[in-house]
C-alpha cells in the first residue's frame, strides 16, 4: 500500500514536472526567437521557424512513466523543429475516457497510447488517423505477432509500443525450498500441485498463498486460449464461450480458491493487480500472473530470485498479447501529423525499443531489435526478459471489435460472479452470451 502512495505521489510530481517542462519549453522557444530578432538575424528566425508542438498522452506511471519522459526529452533534444509535450493521464481506462472527452471538446492530443483491444472502437468512430500514407510500408519492421491489433478494416491505425504478454512469475527461492522445479509449473495441474505445496498455514490462518492472480479479463482470455477456445466467433459477431474452453478457466480458479491455495487479490481493475504484485514482493504469495511489463520493477524490488515463465498450459500454451499501441488523432493538422509520425516512428524504432524493453520488461517491437546483439546479450544475462518474446509464438491478438470495449467489462463482472460463487459457471457464461449478442450487434 505504501508503495502505491509513493507511485501516486510520483505520478503527481511527474505530471507537475511535465506541465512545468511544457511551460519552460514554451518560454525558451519564445526567448530564443526574441534574441534571434534582437541580434538582427532576420533570416535566422525564418530558418528556425516556429517548432511544431505536439501533445503526447501516455498511461504508465511509476518507473515506466519516467522512462517515457526521458525518451521524449531525448527526442526533443535530437529533433529541432518538433516539441513533444508528454503528459501522464492515469491508467489505460482513465486515458481512454480523457481522450474521449478531449476529442468531443476539440482539444485532443496529437499522439496517444491506446490499449490494444480499444483500437477498434476508436478507429471505428473515425477518431484515428490512417497511418498507411505515413508509414509507406515501413510497418514491416515490426514483429508480425504484435500487429494483430493495429489494423481496422484493413487500414493501419496503430503502431505497437509498450507490448506485453502475461507471464507466470515465481519466487524461485520458495520453489527451491519446497523441492519444486524453480522454473515453475508447466501445466494447470502442475500449477495446482505447486500452489498446494507452497501454501503455508499458521494456526488456521494462511500466511503464504501458493498462487494469486487478479480475476481479470486478460488472464481469462489466456486461460480460454489455453483450453483451445476463443472469446469471439471468427466474424466477431457472437460470443464463443458457451463451451468447455469458456468454462474450464472458471472451474479451475474456483477450485483453487476453494482449496485455499489461491488468493483473489481484492480491489477493482488495476488495484487488484497492484495488490497481487505487492503480495508477491512481500513473499505472501509465491506465484502470480502479471504482465511482462512489470518484470523490471519486480526484479528491482524483490529481495528474492524472481523467475518468469510461460503461463501454464491446459490443452496448449496460449496468451493474448497486451499493452498499448501508439495512435495519431485524425483531427490534428497536417503539420502536426507529420511531426507526430516522426515521433511515433522514433519511439518505436530499434534503438529506442531496445532501451524501452531493457528498462521496463515490455517486449521490443521491431524484428531488428529482437535479433540485435544488444538484446541477445541482455537475454543471455537475464533470460526472464526473453520469456515474453518466446511466448509470442503462442500468442493471439485481443478481440477488438467496437462492442468488445463494453463486453470485456461484462465478462469480467460475470467471471467474478462465478468465481465468488454468486452464480454457477453455467449461469455466468449464459449471461455473457446473452449480453454479448446485444453488444456485438451494434
Partner 1 sequence: MRKAVAVQEVANAQSAGALPAARFVIAERIRPYLYIAPALLFFAVFFFFPIAYVIYLSFHDWSLLNLEEIEWVGLDNFAALWEDADFRQVLANTFMYTLATVGLGIVIAFFLALWLNRRARVYGLVQAAVFSPHIVSLVSVAMLWMWLMDPQYGLLNALLEFVGLPAYTWLTDTKSALVSLIVVSLWKGVGYNTVVFIAGLQSIPRDIYEAAALDRSPWWRTLVSITVPMLSPTLFFLLVINTISSFQVFDTIYIMTQGGPVNSTNMLVFYIYEQGMDFYNGGIASAASVVLLGMVGLLTLLHFRLMGKRVHYR
Complex with partner 1: residue 93 or 379, whichever CB lies closer: 93
Min dist. Cβ of residue 300 to partner 1 (A): 22
Among 101, 201, 233, 377, binds partner 1 (CB under 8 A): 101
Q: Which of 51, 54, 86, 96 binds partner 1 (CB under 8 A)?
A: 96
Q: Which stretch binds partner 1 (CB under 8 A): 101-109, 160-168, 181-189, 336-344?
A: 101-109
Q: Is 398 one of the binding residues for partner 1 (CB under 8 A)?
A: no
- Compute CA 182 distance to the chain's CA centroid, rounded to the nearest angstrom: 27
Of the candidates 381, 349, 322, 356, the residue with the CA atom closest to the CA atom of residue 148: 322
417 in contact with partner 1 (CB under 8 A)? yes
Confirm or reject binding of residue 430 to partner 1 (CB under 8 A).
no
Buried b / exposed e over 309-319, threshold 16 CB at 10 Å, is bbbbbbeebbb
Size of residue set near partner 1 by CB under 8 A: 28
Cell of 16: 507537475
Figure out which of the listed residues 19, 20, 30, 420 binds partner 1, where binding follows CB under 8 A. Answer: 420
Neighbours of 397 (CB within 10 A): 18
Which of 38, 234, 266, 300 is in the footprint of partner 1 by CB under 8 A? 266
Rounded CA Rg of the chain: 23
Q: Judged by CB under 8 A, which of 21, 48, 103, 430 binds partner 1?
A: 103
CB of 402 to partner 1, least distance (A): 8
CA 103 to chain CA centroid, nearest Å: 23
Q: How far is the CB of 217 from partner 1 (least distance, A)?
A: 13
Cβ neighbours of 34 (radius 10 Å):
11
Q: Does 16 bind partner 1 (CB under 8 A)?
A: no
- Shortest distance, position 169 Cβ to partner 1, whole Å: 19
Binding mask 120-149 for partner 1 (x = CB under 8 A): -xx--xxx----------------------
Residue 266 CB, nearest approach to partner 1 (Å): 4
In the complex, what is the shortest distance from the CB of residue 56 to partner 1, in angstroms, rounded to a whole number? 20
Q: How far apart are CA 178 and CA 373, in angstroms?
A: 37
Should residue 202 be labelled a site residue for partner 1 when binding is judged by CB under 8 A?
no
Please identify, using beta-carbon distances, which residue of 212 and 384 lies nearer to partner 1. Answer: 212
Residue 220 C-alpha cell reads as 481469462
CB 211 within 8 A of CB 288: yes
Helix (H) or strand (E) holding 427: helix 425-441
Name which of 148, 47, 166, 82 is nearest 346 in CA terms.
82
DSSP 316-361: S--EE-EEEEEEEBTTS-HHHHHHHHHHHHHHTSHHHHHHHHHHH-
Residues found near partner 1 in the complex (CB under 8 A): 1, 93, 96-97, 100-101, 103-104, 121-122, 125-127, 266-269, 271, 284, 402, 405-406, 409, 413, 416-417, 420, 422
Amino acid at each position: 500500500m505504501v508503495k502505491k502512495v509513493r507511485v501516486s505521489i510520483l505520478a503527481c510530481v511527474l505530471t507537475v514536472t511535465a506541465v512545468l517542462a511544457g511551460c519552460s519549453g514554451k518560454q525558451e522557444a519564445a526567448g530564443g526567437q526574441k534574441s534571434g530578432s534582437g541580434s538582427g538575424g532576420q533570416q535566422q528566425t525564418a530558418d528556425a521557424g516556429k517548432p511544431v508542438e505536439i501533445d503526447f498522452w501516455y498511461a504508465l506511471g511509476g518507473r515506466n512513466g519516467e522512462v517515457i519522459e526521458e525518451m521524449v526529452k531525448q527526442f526533443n533534444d535530437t529533433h529541432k523543429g518538433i516539441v513533444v509535450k508528454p503528459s501522464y493521464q492515469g491508467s489505460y481506462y482513465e486515458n481512454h475516457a480523457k481522450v474521449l472527452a478531449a476529442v468531443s471538446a476539440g482539444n485532443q492530443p496529437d499522439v496517444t497510447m491506446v490499449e490494444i483491444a480499444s483500437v477498434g472502437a476508436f478507429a471505428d468512430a473515425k477518431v484515428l488517423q490512417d497511418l498507411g500514407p505515413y508509414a509507406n510500408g515501413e510497418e514491416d519492421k515490426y514483429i508480425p505477432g504484435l500487429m494483430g491489433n493495429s489494423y481496422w478494416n484493413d487500414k493501419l491505425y496503430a503502431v505497437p509500443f509498450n507490448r506485453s504478454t502475461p507471464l507466470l512469475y515465481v519466487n524461485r527461492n520458495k520453489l527451491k525450498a519446497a523441492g519444486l522445479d524453480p522454473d515453475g509449473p508447466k501445466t494447470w495441474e502442475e500449477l495446482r500441485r505447486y500452489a498446494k505445496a507452497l501454501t503455508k498455514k499458521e494456526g488456521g490462518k494462511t500466511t503464504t498463498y501458493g498462487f494469486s492472480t487478479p480475476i481479470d479479463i486478460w488472464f481469462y482470455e489466456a486461460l480460454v486460449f489455453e483450453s483451445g477456445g476463443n472469446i469471439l466467433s471468427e466474424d466477431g459477431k457472437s460470443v464463443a464461450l458457451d463451451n468447455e474452453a469458456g468454462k474450464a478457466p472458471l472451474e479451475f480458479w474456483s477450485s483453487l480458491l476453494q482449496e485455499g491455495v489461491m488468493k483473489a487479490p481484492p480491489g477493482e481493475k488495476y488495484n487488484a493487480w497492484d495488490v497481487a504484485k505487492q503480495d508477491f514482493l512481500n513473499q505472501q504469495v509465491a506465484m502470480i500472473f502479471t504482465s511482462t511489463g512489470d518484470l523490471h520493477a519486480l526484479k528491482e524490488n524483490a529481495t528474492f530470485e524472481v523467475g518468469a515463465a510461460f503461463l501454464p498450459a491446459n490443452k496448449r500454451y496460449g496468451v493474448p498479447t497486451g499493452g498499448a499501441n501508439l495512435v495519431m488523432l485524425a483531427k490534428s493538422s497536417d503539420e502536426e501529423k507529420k511531426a507526430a509520425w516522426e515521433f511515433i516512428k522514433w519511439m518505436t524504432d530499434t534503438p529506442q525499443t531496445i532501451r524501452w524493453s531493457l528498462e521496463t520488461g515490455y517486449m521490443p517491437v521491431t524484428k531488428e531489435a529482437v535479433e540485435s546483439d544488444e538484446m541477445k546479450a541482455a537475454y543471455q544475462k537475464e533470460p526472464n526478459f526473453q520469456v515474453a518474446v518466446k511466448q509470442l509464438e503462442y500468442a493471439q491478438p485481443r478481440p477488438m471489435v467496437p462492442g468488445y470495449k463494453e463486453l470485456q467489462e461484462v465478462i469480467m463482472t460475470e467471471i467474478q460472479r462465478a468465481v465468488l460463487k454468486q452464480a454457477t459457471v453455467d449461469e455466468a457464461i449464459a449471461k455473457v452470451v446473452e449480453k454479448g449478442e446485444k453488444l456485438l450487434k451494434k
